[in-house]
């Protein structure tokens, strides 16, 4: 985009009218999420492959315990693996057998983790206006016998944790905080990932703070002594090197100037939501731990940029007919991993997919969990109507909030949404 075009776009914004979209270079494609890993972070990671430095995982465990208040930290191969272990631990602690309650609209990996834990399932609905559990639906799941409840704040939008915790406490249920998308978000001044007796973090490539892959389970209070086991197998040097190679490729090709290349490769399935069968949990690699430690400051700076961009979008989109912006509770600080918007007609109402996706706009999860065959096979009871999840599957889209989005592109994104309401 030229300097003149950017100037015209910003001028239109200052005058209170949405800017006309400008033609960007055909090879510029905005990734939906940016998780920065500085080049200097690869030096300690390579040292781990060559075993030239002490194992960084004990230090990373201590760091996560300090940030998130975890009395015990278990590092895992992925956030899905960590959630699988968390569900097993919560079910054992709950004592009485019963199904695990999952949100009906969430990342499919949440369902994969529960199925990997061999749990029977019940689903509760999600309130579109807040991306939070529908409390009446959640209580029905608790009355149906659920004694483990997984809550997954979406896109870094916190939920009213105190109200949900109080409801679960009334039924003696263990609440699992799936904070996979919560980096940079907080509730009542506490970071998402520090709220539950059991919390799960994810460090995959689209999670804001990344080591290429990896996850963590944090245990507190009476659960700190629980038996939380992962496979003790050690990753080979080749496996460690693979983490570095994948992370380096992410940093090189996850930029607007080159992102069109991996997006054009069908077998990478970028931008697609796919159910992946569960695999046994394994430990985090040493290379991933090294990358995480060395990229923390960059990830925290990036989280600040996401929050600022998210607040810009919120201010410009609130109150527009046909567009709904889910609201966080008053005591929350959203992390805006992506900016969620509900729009009549969903992503298809915004224009040609080639244009929409070029600017990093993505549809949400395309189906509620109730429509996935592996989930239906595990359901302990018919979930009944799930109107909130169905609305979200039809209408939710997300905007990119990363520092890679230029000022002119932000206003072009706003124009695309404004134009769809004409």
Instruction: Please give the order of strands across the beta sheet that includes 148-151.
Output: 72-76, 215-219, 198-202, 174-178, 148-151, 100-103, 121-124
Mean pLDDT value across residues 10-35: 64
In the three-class reduction of DSSP (H, G, I as helix; E, B as strand; rest coil), residue 64 is classed as helix
The confidence band for 422, taking pLDDT boundaries of 50, 70 and 90, is: low
* Residue, of 353 and 43, whose pLDDT is higher: 43
Cα(337)–Cα(327) distance, rounded to whole angstroms? 15
Six-digit token string for 225? 């002594």
H/E stretch holding 124 reads: strand 121-124
* 133 beta partners: 126
Mean pLDDT value across residues 298-310: 98
pLDDT at 74 over 60: yes
The confidence band for 96, taking pLDDT boundaries of 50, 70 and 90, is: confident
- Predicted confidence at residue 14, as pLDDT, reads 40
Six-digit token string for 204? 């995959």
* Structural domains in the chain plus CATH codes: 3-420 (3.40.640.10)
Cα(51)–Cα(4) distance, rounded to whole angstroms? 52
Burial classification of residue 381, based on how many CB atoms lie within 10 Å of its CB (0-12 exposed, 13-18 middle, 19 or more buried): middle
The confidence band for 227, taking pLDDT boundaries of 50, 70 and 90, is: confident
- Predicted confidence at residue 64, as pLDDT, reads 98
CA end-to-end span of the chain: 25
Cα(296)–Cα(68) distance, rounded to whole angstroms? 14
Residues 6+ apart with CB under 8 A from 116: 80, 84, 278, 279, 280, 281
Tens digits of residue pLDDT in 184-225: 999 999 999 999 999 999 999 899 999 999 999 999 998 988
Cα(387)–Cα(366) distance, rounded to whole angstroms? 14
Tens digits of residue pLDDT in 27-65: 789 999 999 999 999 999 999 999 999 999 999 999 999
Computed over every residue of the chain, the mean pLDDT equals 90
Window from 202-216, 228-242, 397-411 with minimum mean pLDDT: 228-242
Mean pLDDT value across residues 284-293: 97
Q: How much of the chain is helix, strand and coil, in % rounded to 5?
A: 45, 15, 45
Do the Cβ atoms of 366 and 393 come closer than 8 Å? yes
């Amino acid at each position: 985009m030229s300097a003149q075009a950017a100037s015209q776009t910003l001028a239109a914004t200052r005058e209170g009218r949405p800017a006309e979209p400008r033609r960007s270079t055909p090879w510029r494609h905005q990734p939906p999420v940016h998780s920065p890993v500085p080049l200097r972070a690869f030096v300690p990671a390579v040292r781990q492959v060559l075993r030239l430095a002490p194992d960084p995982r004990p230090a990373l465990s201590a760091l996560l315990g300090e940030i998130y208040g975890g009395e015990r930290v278990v590092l895992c191969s992925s956030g899905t693996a960590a959630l699988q272990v968390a569900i097993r631990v919560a079910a054992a602690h709950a004592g009485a057998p019963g199904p695990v309650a999952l949100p009906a609209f969430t990342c499919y990996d949440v369902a994969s983790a529960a199925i990997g834990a061999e749990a029977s399932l019940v689903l509760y609905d999600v309130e579109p206006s807040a991306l939070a559990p529908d409390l009446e639906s959640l209580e029905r799941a608790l009355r149906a016998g659920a004694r483990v409840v997984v809550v997954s704040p979406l896109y870094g939008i916190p939920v009213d944790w105190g109200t949900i915790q109080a409801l679960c406490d009334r039924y003696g249920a263990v609440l699992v905080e799936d904070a996979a998308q919560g980096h940079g978000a907080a509730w009542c001044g506490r970071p998402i990932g520090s709220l539950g007796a059991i919390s799960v973090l994810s460090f995959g490539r689209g999670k804001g703070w990344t080591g290429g892959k990896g996850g963590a389970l944090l245990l507190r209070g009476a659960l700190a002594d629980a038996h939380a086991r992962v496979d003790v197998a050690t990753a080979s040097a080749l496996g460690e090197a693979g983490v570095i190679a994948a992370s380096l490729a992410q940093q090189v090709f996850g930029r607007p100037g080159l992102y069109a290349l991996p997006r054009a490769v069908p077998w990478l399935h970028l931008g697609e939501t796919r159910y992946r069968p569960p695999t046994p949990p394994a430990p985090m690699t040493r290379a991933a731990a090294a990358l995480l430690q060395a990229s923390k400051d960059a990830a925290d700076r990036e989280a600040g940029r996401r929050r600022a961009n998210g607040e810009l979008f919120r201010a410009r989109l609130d109150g527009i007919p046909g567009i709904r912006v889910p609201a966080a509770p008053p005591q929350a600080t959203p992390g805006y991993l992506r900016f969620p918007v509900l729009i009549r007609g969903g992503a298809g109402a915004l224009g040609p997919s080639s244009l929409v996706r070029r600017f990093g706009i993505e549809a949400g999860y395309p189906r509620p969990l109730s429509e996935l065959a592996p989930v239906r096979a595990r359901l302990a009871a018919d979930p009944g109507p799930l109107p909130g999840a169905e609305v979200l599957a039809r209408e939710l889209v997300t905007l990119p909030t990363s520092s890679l989005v230029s000022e002119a592109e932000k206003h072009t994104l706003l124009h695309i949404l404004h134009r769809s309401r004409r």
